[in-house]
Structure 1
């Protein structure tokens, strides 16, 4: 019985991976940008708060994942009083700043760099490269090979576990500079 269950899970995982590779580009496309609140003075920091771990200003409201490209940091902003935040290792291909939604998820798959990864949460596609958060099974957060086009935003396994629980399909992801 356990063998049948394992085989069924493997087939479902493989089919989910294949389906995610064929998701139309339009599903991960950013929504039309909303008007900018007010112009900032040039030279002002990206994160206007004095606390470098505070959720970036102008990252929206409500429950969301916030990914700050320049800070290499993610915030899981929910109903709790203090959002969870952690460092990430960006991929070689990055999404444009904007608002996205989680389009697909995979439990365990090989990464585009060949490293086994888990808890993949995909939210964008850039030039045919799927962009998503993931954790390497071996726990590494090595810099990606700059000669390869990869879309995996790597995080520690504990952070990957938290992302997996937090970001279901349809969840909002806000990318800020």
Structure 2
């Protein structure tokens, strides 16, 4: 009877698969925080002593800028590169970071003058959810999801948003909605 020799690669693969399975089983047990043998009578699954972990850092609060008007409006901070969608009660319903173009709008009060669902931006990028205010500025998101730094040789008033933020802006800012630009 002939004996077949098992290639070394098969042994290594088998050992690796076994080791990964063992690690998976152990990690699942550790995750449950229950010893492998189960709990002793009257024992609790909760640790008896609380671990001393530093508190997770809080996400920075982005409050609606003071002096940005009242009532339902869009607030755009040029310095913070951030937008707030503010409800009639003066509270932020949503805030998000944006990527401005090369043409910065002057501080002041505007309103949404025009909206375009799809098109091509002044930088040649396919856009959607374009919400225009002032003479040459618009909030929009790139269809491909990009948010590149604008080409400094182009004059573009595009203020780019992530796709989900662009949709939120589109749903919030109908024609005539106030837009307040702050520093």
TM alignment of 1:14-53, pairs within 5 A: 52-53=61-62
Unmatched 5+ stretches in structure 1? 1-50
Q: State whether residues 142 and 163 of structure 2, in contact with CA within 8 Å, keep that contact through their aligned partners in structure 1.
A: yes
**1: CA distance, partners of 2:110 / 2:81:** 18
Equivalent position to 1:167, from 167, 170, 173:
173
Q: Match of 1:144?
A: 150
Q: Report 1 or 2 for greater relative contact order, CA contacts < 8 Å, sequence distance ≥ 6.
A: 1
TM-score, length basis structure 2: 0.65
**2: CA distance, partners of 1:82 / 1:57:** 12
- RMSD over aligned Cα atoms: 1.2
Unmatched 5+ stretches in structure 2? 1-59
Cα offset, 1:141, TM superposition: 1.1
Q: State whether residues 114 and 132 of structure 2, in contact with CA within 8 Å, keep that contact through their aligned partners in structure 1.
A: yes
TM-score, length basis structure 1: 0.67
Correspondence 1:63 to 2:68: no
Partner of 1:83: helix, strand, or coil?
strand
Task: Give the number of equivalent residue pairs.
Answer: 123
Equivalent position to 1:155, from 153, 161, 168:
161
